[in-house]
Amino acid sequence: METKQDAAAQGAIAELLRRRRDDVLGRWVAIIAATVQGRITERELRAETAELFELAVRVAEEGPRGAAADELRGALGDLSRSRARQGFSPTEIAVSVFALKQALYENMEGGDTDEQAAYRQFIEFSAVMDDLGLHTFETYAAAREQVIADQAESLLELSTPVVKLWEGIVAVPLIGTLDSARTQVVMETLLQTLVDTGSEYAVIDITGVAAVDTEVAQHLLKTVVAARLMGAECVISGIRPQIAHTIVTLGIEFGDIVTKATLADALGYALEHRGVVLGEKRER
């Protein structure tokens, strides 16, 4: 429920924002710039903030249920998403909003009456409470992120099964996106399986892998070398043409590592080296 007095106060804020636009906006940009510290260019920040400022003035006129408020919420939503992707913390993003209060307060006019002094104290106290509120929010977000990280880790372990193909031959079929962390888990799981099963051959099948980068390719190479140090041999199968192209373009040396077109070829290779002969069943 809005009273007449509130409406008048809103009008006064909007009027003040318009009149001192350059000062308030300049100060707002400066406060945000101090938090983001060069991760966004000054120019970008100024353009972005100017847009928010115009919307904020309209919100001051129309109140929190007007069309401008919806528009401002939308703009801040977009801003938060892009900042989150750039790796900003929730506090750093929220400061973009709270800082307008500070900027406006610094540009308030008026004498040094008791009322003014009390108001100033209230603003300072409000800033402290904002910080504390942000702190609880930040802590909550960090706790959620830990939960997500833990889940990602357990998914990682689930997504790298090492299967036994034959006595002494194991395989790990890799599917999906290979990042550095996952490749490392694969490497450790595979090597441990070699020990546990006494297998001297391992096939790393990357048929289901869409792309590899330098780091992932290096991890695969290290796996092969580590297996050799342990007394086992790794065969890499299913290298797709695009990946072969990437490997060559990146200048990664696969050296004397055995590669085969398909998992079946790799199994054939390992069987042959283990001295297993498979015969076709003849009809008589």
Partner 1 sequence: MERVPVLKIGDILLVSIQIDLQDQSVLNLQEDLADRIVATGARGVIIDITAVEIVDSFIGRMFATIASISRLLDAETIVVGMRPAVAITLVELGLSLGGVRTALDLEKGLRLLGVDGLAAGPRDRR
Partner 2 sequence: MTDAGATEIPIGSGDDVVRVRQAVREAAGAAKLSLVDQTKIVTAASELARNTLIYGGGGHARVERVDSGLGRAGIRILFADEGPGIPDLDLALTDGWTSGNGLGLGLSGARRLVDEFSLDSAPGAGTRITVVKWGR
Q: Is 157 in the site for partner 2 (CB under 8 A)?
A: no
- Residue 7 or 230: the one with the smaller Cβ distance to partner 2 is 230
Which two tokens mark 134? 């942000």
CB of 283 to partner 1, least distance (A): 25
Q: Name the binder of 231 from partner 1, partner 2, none, CB < 5-8 A by kind.
A: partner 1
Query: What are the strands, taking DSSP E only, across 114-232?
Result: 163-166, 169-176, 201-209
Handedness of CA 269, 271, 272, 277 (dihedral sign): negative
Q: Is 188 in the site for partner 2 (CB under 8 A)?
A: yes
Closest CA to 161 of 205, 217, 116, 214: 205
Q: Per-residue DSSP letters for 236-274?
A: EE---HHHHHHHHHTT---TT-EEESSHHHHHHHHHHHH
- Residue 80 or 197: the one with the smaller Cβ distance to partner 1 is 197
Q: Name the binder of 252 from partner 2, partner 1, none, CB < 5-8 A by kind.
A: none
Q: Name the binder of 69 from partner 1, partner 2, none, CB < 5-8 A by kind.
A: none
C-alpha 30/C-alpha 3 separation (Å) is 35
> Would you give the distance in Å from CA 118 to the centre of its chain?
44
Write the binding mask 81 to 110 for partner 1: x where contact by CB under 8 A, - elsewhere. ------------------------------
Write the binding mask 165 to 184 for partner 2: x where contact by CB under 8 A, - elsewhere. ----------------x---
Residue whose pair of structure tokens reads 């008026």 in the numeric block: 110
Handedness of CA 30, 127, 84, 152 (dihedral sign): positive
Q: Is 2 in the site for partner 2 (CB under 8 A)?
A: no
Q: Work out the angle at residue 197's Cα, subtended by the Cα atoms of residues 194 and 202, and round it to the nearest 5 degrees.
A: 40
Q: What is the DSSP letter of 41?
A: -
Q: Name the binder of 116 from partner 2, partner 1, none, CB < 5-8 A by kind.
A: none
CA 149 vs CA 136, 187, 243, 264: distances in Å: 20, 20, 29, 36
Q: Is 157 in the site for partner 1 (CB under 8 A)?
A: no
Q: Name the binder of 228 from partner 2, partner 1, none, CB < 5-8 A by kind.
A: partner 1
Binding site for partner 2 (CB under 8 A): 142, 146, 153, 181, 188
Binding site for partner 1 (CB under 8 A): 167-168, 187-188, 191-192, 194-195, 198-200, 222, 225-232, 274-276
